[in-house]
């Protein structure tokens, strides 16, 4: 049985998301139920319920590296404008140690599943930095072909 950590209300910290105040758990960098949230009171219930499911072996959220892999695979399969924008964000993160994929972005530039993936990318900076070279080259080729 995996060991998990439950959140307390004081674990939430406020941040600005496109002019709206959101809250995230300071010690958890995963995008998961209750993190981030608009209401820490609601978020804590969702997060702790999810953590209990993880402890019981019923987690339905992939490892962050697997999540990034799904996003990369989706970008390469879709090859839409949104997919190319996502690919560009990932490539910039891989190539520049100083670049961090921001949480704030223009939501009008992304559509459908790509919008959900773009939100998620902001929580996958560490994984994007260590993307295998072969996948990075595939994304770069996608960007070049669609320009």
Task: Read off the pLDDT of residues 91-134 as tens digits, 9 standing for 90 and up.
Answer: 999 998 899 998 788 888 988 888 888 888 888 888 898 899 99
Residues 6+ apart with CB under 8 A from 101: 89, 90, 92, 93, 121, 122, 124, 125, 128
Question: Is the pTM for the entire model greater than 0.85?
Answer: no
> What is the reported pLDDT for 59?
63
What are the sequence ranges of the domains in the chain? Answer: 9-55, 64-146
Cβ–Cβ < 8 Å for 105, 98: no
Helices then strands, each counted (H, E), the chain: 6, 2
**How far is residue 119 CA from its own chain's centroid?**
6
pLDDT tens for 53-89 read 777 777 666 678 888 999 999 999 998 999 999 999 9
The position carrying tokens 């993190």 is: 35
pLDDT at 146 over 80: no
Give the N- to C-terminal CA distance of the chain in Å, as an integer: 48
Taking alpha carbons only, the member of 45, 132, 117 closest to residue 77 is 117
Closest CA to 140 of 70, 75, 82: 75
């Amino acid at each position: 049985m995996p060991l998990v950590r439950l959140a307390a209300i004081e674990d939430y910290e406020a941040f600005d998301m496109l002019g709206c105040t959101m809250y995230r758990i300071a010690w958890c960098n995963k995008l998961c139920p209750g993190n981030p949230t608009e209401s820490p009171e609601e978020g804590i219930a969702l997060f702790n319920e999810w953590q209990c499911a993880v402890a019981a072996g019923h987690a339905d959220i992939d490892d962050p590296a697997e999540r990034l892999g799904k996003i990369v695979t989706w970008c390469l399969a879709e090859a839409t404008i949104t997919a190319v924008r996502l690919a560009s964000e990932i490539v910039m993160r891989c190539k520049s140690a100083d670049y961090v994929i921001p949480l704030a972005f223009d939501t009008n530039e992304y559509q459908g599943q790509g919008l959900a993936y773009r939100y998620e990318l902001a929580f996958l900076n560490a994984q994007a930095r260590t993307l295998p070279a072969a996948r990075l080259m595939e994304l770069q080729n996608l960007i070049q072909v669609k320009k």
